[in-house]
Amino acid sequence: MEPVRISKLMAQRGLCSRREADAYIERGWVRVDGKIVNELGSKALPNARITLERQAARRQTDKVTIILNKPVGYVSHQSDQGYRLAASLIQARTQHRTAHGGGPVFDPAHLRGLAPAGRLDIDSQGLLVLTQDGRVARQLIGDDSSIEKEYLVRVEGRLSAGGLALLNHGLTLDSQALRPAQVQWQNEDQLHFILREGRKRQIRRMCEQVGLKVVGLKRVRMGRIVLGDLPMGQWRYLRDGERF
């Protein structure tokens, strides 16, 4: 077995992101087979035992994950220049709190390093996850992620012969086969999608291939987290005990 960078091993195992791993290593918060490692770029065998010191574990516990009901007209990523960022909606006045509480009171420190875990384009609405925790991001959008994403999709046009079967399995995007999906009619003008991947504008492009135009798209679930009754444009913290 060839040695691998420790930061890469940590990210592969879901301990943290590679950037976080480098920061923890630099601070001497990582042990490999019981020994502290504090040199960036250090390598270890793929089967090495890697553990975090209490300082790193405490820092991870302090990281927040936010569930936002994104409206149409906001983009999820900074790279989409000239548009309003979904993260700009994370403010004290837009936090959704109920009689049962809404998690911690908003702290501006929770905006530092907050990044979307998955894309939801400007014309789409619904559940968008933003997180400071690299483990959550990898779980949702890592190359090996199998987390289900559920959508309600309004369409126009005439579905081609065999189109529904192709939406379920058989289409390609950018010369790459798509994973099997679960697609069925919700009503006469709305499809119900469950995907286990998230290519750019995937559902819109899938529908175009079978003669349909998407006129409305709403994400309602990621893994075990549902949008529920979270009002449009408001957000809440991922609660203790909630898991994707």
The catalytic residues are: 121
Q: Are 38 and 26 in contact (CB under 8 A)?
A: yes
User: Distance of CA 184 to CAs 170, 173, 191, 199, Å?
Assistant: 15, 20, 6, 20
Maximum Cα–Cα distance across the chain:
63
Q: Are 90 and 114 in contact (CB under 8 A)?
A: yes
Buried b (16+ CB within 10 A) or exposed e, 207-240: beebebebeebbbbbbbebebeebeeebbbbbee
